[in-house]
Amino acid sequence: MSGESAQGGAAALAPAAALMARRFRGFLPVVIDVECGGFNAATDALLEIAAVLIDMDTSGTLHRGATHTFHVQPFPGARLDPAALQVTGIDPHHPLRPALPERDALQRVFREVRRSIHAYACRRAILVGHNAAFDLAFLNAAIARTDMKRNPFHPFSSFDTATLAGAALGQTVLAKAATVAGIEWDASSAHSAAYDAERTAELFCQICNRLRASYLQADERACALGWFDALAGEPSDTDSALD
């Protein structure tokens, strides 16, 4: 994206920027899904990463935004569990697989996330995931391995759609939660990072939109308590962390 087009995108989002920044206290939700060579973030390969941006319109309604997905080369010495590869269907050594080194893949994801953070006037991103601790653990492990600087994500907090769906819909499995929410689910496409991330994003947006009346009531109370400027929507100086 050129500088001119990036500025144009930011200008288009400007009316909704204050609403987004206020909705999650300056944190921008970004859905991350990873497909891996096992379950141990310290030893097992990160093989695919997808980031789905979350957009907001001027009414305060959340929508699934752009998807950015990359195949990733296993890091040297990475463990590849055959059972995990069978589930994902990934052949890490296929000659036509367009995989990038971990650092390159992370840089590309972070570049898009930072653009969205800037466009929505947020301070940093917060990971949204289905069983988010898994995705956040692999993301943080890759960041540490590659010595990445300027991580745009909160290092330990996240929004978990398994928890949200369990509370709102009575279902914790992504496929079942999406189905009862009326979101199309194609079992043959599951375990693709992009597909799972997009369905997770739609689920997150739907639950948050259903809770909008509750949020507005709480926001009114927060203003009455002096936590926000009722007009500008700015948090107090001491209200700077999610945790």
Q: What are the C-alpha distances in Å from 71 to residues 48, 130, 165, 193, 234?
A: 4, 20, 28, 9, 39
Hey, which bits of the chain come out as E strands?
Answer: 27-36, 46-56, 62-72, 99-100, 124-129, 153-160
Tokens 């994206």 found at: 1
Task: At 4, list the tokens.
Answer: 């001119």
Contact criterion met (CB below 8 Å) for 80 and 38: yes
What DSSP character marks residue 170? Answer: S
Would you call 191 a catalytic residue per the annotation? Answer: yes
CA–CA gap between residue 7 and residue 27 (Å, rounded): 21
Distance CA 14, CA 105 (A): 28
Selected catalytic residue, list 71, 118, 154, 191: 191
Candidates 104, 206, 136; CA nearest to 165 is 206
For residue 232, is it left (φ>0), alpha (ψ between -120 and 50) or beta? alpha
What's the rounded Cα separation, in Å, for the pair 111 and 117?
10
How far is it, in rounded angstroms, from Cα 36 to Cα 139?
11
Q: Which residues are catalytic?
A: 191
